[in-house]
Structure 1
Amino acid sequence: MTISLDAGSLSSDELEDEKDLAPPTATPLAGPMRTRGRRIFSSDDGRIVSGTWECDPGESAWDFSDRGEVVHALSGRMTCAEKGGATTEVGPGTTSVFPIGRQGTWTIHETLRKVFVIYR
């Protein structure tokens, strides 16, 4: 079975699961950050989850101690700062890998829409 979704063409209203960003996903650092998403795949054992996700601007702390994530930015812009390490700019067309164990911050400058694969 092939699962397909044109995540870039969905309106924000077509995304599901609207809520404020909160642990265990991430911790907002300067006020609430609204998110919207749509899961399109989850393995039977829950070790792989994929979908699309959108988040309003703000700064948040991310801790990937129990999972890793591959993201492909469709729209928006963010700066990812690794704890004690490099800073990376992410924008439309950028693919980024956040390996298991990575910690740092994401500063979303413009509402970010991404396709993601979370792996455990």
Structure 2
Amino acid sequence: MNITILPQTATLQGLESQGPAARPLTQPPAQFSGIDIDLVGAGGNATGIWESTPGRFARHLPNAEVMHILAGSCTFTPTDGSPQDFRAGDTVFFPAHTTGEWHVHETLRKVYVLMAVPAVAA
């Protein structure tokens, strides 16, 4: 079994372009990049490194998410909630179906784990 090590992840070079934000609220739209990590035994969970350039964009994922901010700063305003500031060193836990608005102030980089969406019983 191979263990994946990403040395100095906060400054790691070579992230792959993932294109612009799907729901941009500013122009030009924030640009995303990252690395998806194939973690054996993670089931349907997904993990990797993600980065966003400054900008504002909408968020709606069905997945619960755990993230650790490696670099940068942002404000996340949940739908019908108060703005919350995140910066390098913070660990954040998003419940499933969290919606709201990201406002990335300085290029944001995070380690993330997206939890698999449970199957709906028929």
Asked whether the 8 Å contact 1:75–1:114 carries over to 2, the reply is yes
Once the two structures are superposed, the pairs formed by residues 63-82 of structure 1 within 5 Å of their partners are 63-64=60-61, 66-82=62-78
Identity of aligned pairs, percent?
35
Q: Give the CA RMSD over aligned residues.
A: 1.8
The unaligned stretches of length 5 or more in structure 2 are: 117-122
Question: Which residue number in structure 2 is paired with residue 101 of structure 1?
Answer: 97
| Unpaired segments ≥5 residues, structure 1 | none
Contact 1:77 1:91 in 2 (8 A): yes
TM norm structure 2: 0.83
The structure that is helix-richer by fraction is 1
Instruction: Give aligned pairs, total.
Output: 113
Normalized per residue, the structure richer in strand is 1
In the other structure, the counterpart of 1:8 is 10
TM-score by length of 1: 0.84
Asked whether the equivalents of residues 15 and 37 of structure 1 are also in contact (C-alpha less than 8 Å), the reply is yes
Match for residue 106 of structure 2? 110
Cα offset for 1:43?
6.0
CA distance in 1, matches of 2:51, 2:36: 12
Q: CA deviation at 1:44?
A: 7.3
Which of the pair has more CA radius of gyration? 2
